[in-house]
A and B are shown apart, each in its own frame.
Chain A
């Protein structure tokens, strides 16, 4: 482990963490409400998760086990850097295992493995205001939230159907939290929206550049907006993961060569690896990945 003497625990000073914790508590008390906070400069550029990092830094303790994912993957630059950052500045244990993590910081995915009570999911949020693209004035959007004037959200969905024949919004799909605030779930695929609903885990959202924190406490209603004649639907995939044969999970397309070869694999790398370790096998899985004796018969 690295020496942390030169840093305050978890990088932020205690007053800052106190300020952020108060914002978090307020956010939890008013599910879905965007709490302004004095976002700090972090040693990474905006857009790389400065909001999520500040939230994580404010709630993390020496006993926590941290997992960081970027679009579901534990092994991409952003995830690796943030994980390394907290190992350095908070000296905490890190993991890729969803089930054993106490804090999971995420960029744009919710893990496939169901979260449990006691876990905290920290989202990195680029634009927290769901009304922003239709109403540029912050004064106005805050008033709209205060007065629960959410007709505009449906205008956006209306436009989708008018242009594409269906609700074409596939990520950052707006939700209503506990029947009151409309919230941007961050650019997660709408596939993950149902996982937010009554999740036993605490969900915290940090937007560093926009200086907003919001939260969904455990077991809170999170309902995706829709029309009666165009109900909310998640994406479906017509084939299982090419590596672990998982179905009903979110898949990424991976290009294999210059000749149009491609495959669809789990976006959640931890989930995929665990399944392969358990002997599940997709049609493109290399033999060597399979543990001996656990091979499933080809389907």
Chain B
């Protein structure tokens, strides 16, 4: 375990005119830690995720990231080129809709290999071998490697998106409702896969979800957001088993029991 966090976020706010996207969010994320951000739609969790992943610039606040050389860099002071480089090497972003994170008209193998080629890999055979390996890790048959994701089911597409993101060995992965829109059985398989990959690779992850079961299964820590503010945070099982804030109690009590 490292003594320093991977990501330090302090006083992060994003306003849309006079409307609040998210306000005064502060937390540290350590290597290997999975943080769930929960809340209903409009709670600001996606705004927060987009700010953290630098897809959106915040109105105020700072976020610094510990680069591979051990130096902290202020994310919002980096050049766009540096941020984009980070995004396709040391970070991953798993979109709710796989079509947003995949190239639907190129093969599964090329989808996985793209990040490798982007960082300069120029050996077709090695790129393909890596793609085969990653497809198997996300439980996609090797013989689908030359198929386009258009021919894949929703669950397969999501798994392909995950492989595409993880192929460069990122240290931090952002996930926006990674199991949203999937059948329950497909969800379970995906969650289990994600959980295994996160553990095996020691990934840090920030997972935005409205599904408390997803949060419980994937994350160690949790932040509950309402109206752009963090109303409660702590260990995931503590927040879910002993919710303190009125809104968290409402969320937890609203879970349907099966």
Listed in ascending order, the chain A residues whose CB lies under 8 Å from chain B are 134, 143, 147, 149-152, 154-155, 158-159, 161-163, 226-230
Contacts and interface: CB of A to CB of B under 8 A. Distances in A.
A130 to B, nearest CB: 15
Given A134-B103, A134-B106, A151 B124 contact: no
Interface residues of B, number: 25
A145 B114 CA distance: 16
Nearest to A151: B118
Given A159-B107, A161-B124, 4 more contacts: A155-B114, A155-B117, A227-B122, A228-B122
B123 A154 contact: no
6 contacts: A152-B118, A155-B114, A158-B109, A158-B113, A158-B127, A227-B122
Contacts of B146: 162-163
Give the interface centre of B84, B115, B122 by most chain A CB atoms within 10 Å: B122
A228 B123 contact: yes
A151 B80 contact: no
A149 B128 contact: no
A230 B128 CA distance: 13
Contacts of B37: none
A154 B122 contact: yes
Given A151-B118, A155-B106, A162-B109, A227 B124 contact: yes
A227 B146 CA distance: 18
Interface string B130-170: 00000000000000011000000000000000000000000
A196 B123 CA distance: 25
B123 A162 contact: no
A162 B144 CA distance: 12
B125 interface: yes
A227 B80 CA distance: 28
Contacts of B114: 151-152, 155
B84 A158 contact: no
Nearest to B113: A158
Contacts of A163: 107, 146
Give the interface centre of A149, A151, A228, A229 by most chain B CB atoms within 10 Å: A151
Nearest to A225: B122
Nearest to B126: A229
Given A151-B114, A151-B118, A158 B124 contact: yes
Contacts of A230: 124
B146 to A, nearest CB: 5
B22 interface: no
Nearest to A157: B124
A150 B114 CA distance: 10
Q: Which 4 A-B pairs have the closest CB atoms?
A: A151-B118, A154-B117, A151-B117, A227-B124
Nearest to A161: B124
Contacts of A150: 118
Given A149-B118, A151-B117, A229-B125, A162 B81 contact: no
Interface of B: 80-81, 84, 88, 103, 105-107, 109-110, 113-119, 122-125, 127-128, 145-146
A161 B125 CA distance: 10
Contacts of B105: 134
A158 B107 CA distance: 9
B125 A158 contact: no
A156 to B, nearest CB: 8
A155 B124 contact: no
A147 B123 CA distance: 23
A24 to B, nearest CB: 28
Contact of B115 (A151, A158, A226): A151
Contacts of B107: 159, 162-163
B116 to A, nearest CB: 8
A147 B82 CA distance: 9
B200 to A, nearest CB: 26
A277 B192 CA distance: 76
Contacts of B88: 151
B118 A229 contact: no
Nearest to B111: A155
Contacts of A134: 103, 105-106
Contacts of A159: 106-107, 110
Give the interface centre of A134, A162, A228, A230 by most chain B CB atoms within 10 Å: A162
A155 B122 contact: no
Contact of B123 (A149, A155, A227): A227
A158 B123 contact: no
A152 B119 CA distance: 11
Nearest to B145: A162
Give the interface centre of B88, B118, B122, B124 by most chain A CB atoms within 10 Å: B124
A143 B80 CA distance: 10
Nearest to B118: A151
A147 B84 contact: yes
A180 to B, nearest CB: 14
Nearest to A226: B122
Contacts of A228: 122-124
Contact of A229 (B80, B119, B124): B124
Contacts of B115: 151
